[in-house]
Amino acid sequence: MIQQNLVKVGMADLNIATDGAVLKTTGLGSCVGLTLYDPIKKIAGMAHVMLPSSDIARETTFNFAKYADTAIPELLDRMIAAGAHVVRLKAKMAGGAQMFAMSGQTDSLRIGPRNVESCTAVLNRFKIPIVAQDTGGSFGRTIEFDSAKGMLAIRSVQFGTKEI
């Protein structure tokens, strides 16, 4: 999906897109690329979530986009300010891989699965349905979300490109 109007979303970052712009993030391993979409207003949002909970935050300058529990509410606020309505929002997500296999894994090493669980819990709190997802596995992904069509394209070296 090559578009002239590309909005890049970095790691631990979020942004919104309108007017047919495409949101793109790369480097999704254990991170989750979460997208929200208002199909009537054609407003899209994307967050590149690194960690499940801000409870573990230690940085001096807090980055709300880094954590599922703070990134999703911030993304919602930005989308609502742009004219989206929460009752129409649909979510799609990709990533949340378990990048390294380790024996006797503790919960703290399950970052990918915990990111997916945390994103799902926050979306449930706002009653936003997850209409499609490509999560888990042990491989990285790059995603692009088309704000005109509401389509999420997922690319990986192992599986090529698919759209959900």
- In angstroms, the CA 2 to CA 115 distance is 28
Active-site residue list: 31
Nearest Cα to 135, choosing from 164, 109, 160, 107? 164
The tens-digit pLDDT sequence of the chain (164 residues) is: 454 699 999 999 999 999 999 999 999 999 999 999 999 999 999 999 999 999 887 777 889 999 999 999 999 999 999 999 999 999 999 999 997 766 555 555 789 999 999 999 999 999 999 999 999 999 999 999 999 999 999 999 989 999 99
- On whether residue 32 sits in a domain, the answer given is yes
Report d(CA 47, CA 50) in Å as an integer.
9
Residue 45 lies in a domain: yes
Q: Is residue 151 part of a domain?
A: yes
Structurally, the chain folds into a number of domains equal to: 1
**Residue 140 lies inside a defined structural domain of this protein:** yes
Distances (CA, A) of 11 to 26, 49, 51: 8, 7, 11
Q: Which domain holds residue 89?
A: 6-163
On whether residue 133 sits in a domain, the answer given is yes
Give the DSSP H/E element, type plus range, for residue 152.
strand 151-156
Q: Domain for residue 1, yes or no?
A: no
d(CA 95, CA 142): 9
Which CATH number does the domain housing residue 150 bear? 3.30.1330.200
Separation of CA 157 from chain center: 19
For residue 1, the model assigns a pLDDT of 47
Confidence at residue 111, expressed as pLDDT on a 0 to 100 scale: 92
Residues 6+ apart with CB under 8 A from 34: 46, 47, 49, 68, 71, 72, 75, 91, 92, 93, 119
